[in-house]
Amino acid sequence: MRSLPGRNRNRYTAAVSNKRIKENLVKVDAEFAEDIHIRIPVIPTVNMNENNIKDTIKFLSNLKHIKDIELLPYHRLGLETYERLGRVYELKDVEIPDMEMLKKMAEVIRAEDPEAAVKVKGE
């Protein structure tokens, strides 16, 4: 999921809103009785702040089939591909979050929703 509540947070976020993503997630939750696994890339300066995480959890708490939430640390693995394609990788200067930063975001989620099953990738 991108930054919520559907508006751009800064120049790095996608130029489109989250409206379709959120609508599709609500639709999947309503139409299928299967577990939904939420994976959130955590990107400093984009979505790694308490307000964004709280907004995300408020939205997800209305869904019935969320099994777990996994926080994924931002990485620069796509940098070389962008360079080979002659494209600008706008996130190249964004710091990579360390485990402590990710754990803090997980704590924010648990404080908002003590029932949430939160995982941190690499923990």
Within a domain: 6: no
Q: φ, ψ for residue 38 (rounded to 5)?
A: -95, 130
Q: Which of 13-17, 59-63, 90-94, 102-106 comes out lowest in average pLDDT? A: 13-17
Whether 8 is covered by a domain: the verdict is no
pLDDT digits (tens, 9 = 90+) for 20-36: 889 999 999 999 989 99
In a domain, 3, yes or no: no
Q: What is the pLDDT of residue 10?
A: 45
Does 99 fall in a domain? Answer: yes
Query: Contact 51/20 with Cβ under 8 angstroms?
Result: no
Count of the separate structural domains present in the chain: 1
Tell me if residue 29 falls in helix, strand or coil: helix
Per-residue HEC secondary structure of 95-117 comes to CCCCHHHHHHHHHHHHHHCCCCC
